[in-house]
Amino acid sequence: MAALKALVVDDASFVRDLVKRTVRQRFPVIETTDAQNGRRAQSLMSRTTFDLVLCDWEMPEMSGLELLQWMRQQPHYEKVPFIMITSRGDKDHVVEAVKEGVSEYLGKPFSPEGLSKKIIKVMGRRLKDAMGRSGKSMEGPADAFKESAALLTQKRDTPPAKPAPDQNARAAADNPLLAASSAPSPAKKPAAKGSMSVAQVRFADSTLTSVVKDINLTEVRVIAKRDQEFPGILDQAVVDMEIGPEKTARLNGYVHQLQAVDRRQDSDFISVTIRFVDDDPQKMEDLSRFVATFRAGNR
C-alpha cells in the first residue's frame, strides 16, 4: 500500500500521464490521482487528503494559480507541497506564484530527472523515510522506450556535407529556413503578412528554431536546420508562436513525427511534427487566430 498520495492536475491527459509515469517509476511509495482542471482537483481535495499537488497553470474552469490560492486558505492544505508545472516561465509569473505560496516551479517541457528533483526537494525527509521503509531506491528504472526512440534522432558526430551551389539554390527554394536561419525569434518580432512564420519549439533540454510549414488545430509541422539538437519521438514540446504584437501563444504537445525533408541522406533539413495536447478553450482560440493568420499570409 502506498504511503503517500499525490494529485496531478493538467488539462492535457498526455502531460498527466507523463507526470504519473515518472512518479510511479521513481517513487513507488506515492499513489497518484489526476484531475483535468482546478475545479475537479478542488472537488477531489475536499474528499481526500493529498500529500503533494503537481499542477499546471493554464486550465479551463479553474487555473492552477486559483487552485493554489484556495489551497493556502484551507487549514489542512496550508503547508502541503505544491509544484507548479507550466510553460509560463517568465519572471512575473514565477514571482506571482511565489507570492501565493507555491513550493516549487517547474517549466514545461520537463525531464523526468527535473521533476524527480523537485519532488525530492519539496517532500524532503518524509519521502526519504517512506522510501526507506519500503526498501526502495530513489533511483527509478530508466524509460527504455524513450531511450530507444531517442536513438533515432541522435546528432551525427561529423557535420553534414555542404551541398553544391546548385543544390543550395534548390534547397533554399524548397526550404525557406535556409534563407531565414538568422530570423528573429517570435517573441521579438511577429511575422508579417506574406512572410515566413518563425516558431520556437522548446524541449526539456533544448530549443529548436524553425519555420512553420503547415499548421491546423491538432498539429504543426515545422522545418528546422539539421545542425541543431533534435528531440526524440514522443518527447514533450512547447511551441511558442507570436499571435500579436505583445502576445505569445504557448501550446503544449509531443513529437509525433521526424523525417528528412529531402530524399538525400545528407539532407540539411528535418521536418518535425508536433501534436497538440491542450484542452484549454483560450489556447484553442489563440491557435485558431494563428492558423487564420498563417493561411492568409500563405495564399
119: which DSSP letter?
H
Q: How far apart are CA 163 and CA 96, in angstroms?
A: 50
Write the CB contacts of 155 (distance below 8 Å, at least 6 apart in sequence): 229, 230
- Domains belonging to the chain, first-starting first, are 4-141 (3.40.50.2300), 148-159+166-297 (2.40.10.220)
7 contacts 35 by C-beta, under 8 angstroms: yes
Q: What cell numbers appear for 282 in the block?
A: 483560450
Q: What cell numbers appear for 163 in the block?
A: 551541398
DSSP string, 253-297: EEEEEEEESSSSTT-SEEEEEEEE----HHHHHHHHHHHHHHHHH
Task: Find residue 247's DSSP bridge partners.
Answer: 244
245: which DSSP letter?
T
Three-state DSSP at 196 gives: coil
Task: Find residue 82's DSSP bridge partners.
Answer: 53
Q: How far apart are CA 272 and CA 147, in angstroms?
A: 19
161: which DSSP letter?
P
Mean pLDDT by 10 residues, the chain (299 residues): 88 94 95 96 96 95 94 95 88 88 94 95 94 74 42 41 41 38 37 61 92 94 93 93 78 94 87 93 89 83
Q: Could you tell me the pTM of the whole model?
A: 0.73
User: For position 137, what pLDDT does the model report?
Assistant: 66
